[in-house]
């Protein structure tokens, strides 16, 4: 496991991140708002936590996919998406070994997840991010 298990306790003990950061919205606008059919553009939220960014991506009509190491965070993300009647695939997993095929995603976003993994795992995580990203895809940050 590459992520810090302390996050499981954080997600269990308090509300966390209801809205995405403005920088992510600007990134999505710059790289993806002009695509033809948004539902055909697949975006991975790596380290999705409770789903603030995942919610935004789904709300904007993109094919949203999230992964996080915390079971609690994934459950909360799924509940929020259900409540908002939004579709997204959300799974528990480790960013070191992403369970997706090579070149699958048009975009991969990360808001402070990789930095909260153990130092020794960060290079492996970045290799995984670029493995699952299409050659012409974009990543944030």
Domain chopping of the chain, boundaries: 6-14+25-140
Q: Contact 50/80 with Cβ under 8 angstroms?
A: yes
Over its length of 141 residues, how does the chain's per-residue pLDDT go in tens digits?
A: 666 677 666 666 677 678 899 999 999 999 999 998 999 999 999 999 999 999 999 999 999 999 999 999 999 999 999 999 999 999 999 999 999 999 999 999 999 887 877 788 888 999 999 999 999 999 887
Residue-level pLDDT at 3: 64
- Look-up of token digits 């402070």: 112
| Cβ atoms of 42 and 68 closer than 8 Å | no
pTM assigned to the model: 0.89
Q: Cα dist. 110→13, 36, 84 in Å?
A: 22, 24, 22
Closest CA to 60 of 81, 39, 45, 76: 39
Q: Helix, strand, coil shares of the chain as percentages rounded to 5? A: 45, 20, 35
CB 47 within 8 A of CB 108: no
- The residue whose two tokens read 């993994």 is 117
pLDDT of residue 19: 87
Q: Compute the distance between CA of residue 70 and CA of residue 55 in angstroms, rounded to an integer.
A: 17
CATH topology of domain 6-14+25-140: Rossmann fold (3.40.50)
Return d(Cα 14, Cα 95) in angstroms, integer: 23
Produce one character per residue of 31-43: b if its CB has 16 or more CB atoms within 10 Å, e if not.
Answer: bbeeeeeeeebbb
The predicted structure's pLDDT at residue 93 = 95
């Amino acid at each position: 496991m590459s992520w810090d298990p302390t996050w499981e306790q954080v997600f269990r003990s308090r509300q966390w991140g209801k809205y995405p950061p403005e920088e992510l919205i600007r990134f999505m606008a710059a790289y993806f708002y002009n695509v033809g059919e948004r539902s055909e553009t697949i975006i991975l939220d790596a380290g999705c936590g409770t789903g603030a960014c995942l919610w935004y991506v789904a709300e904007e009509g993109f094919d949203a996919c999230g992964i996080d190491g915390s079971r609690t965070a994934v459950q909360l993300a799924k509940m929020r998406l259900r409540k908002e009647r939004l579709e997204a695939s959300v799974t528990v997993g480790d960013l070191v070994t992403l369970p997706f095929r090579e070149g699958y995603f048009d975009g991969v976003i990360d808001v402070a997840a990789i930095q909260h993994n153990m130092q020794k795992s960060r290079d492996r995580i970045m290799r995984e991010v670029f493995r699952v990203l299409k050659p012409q895809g974009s990543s944030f940050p």
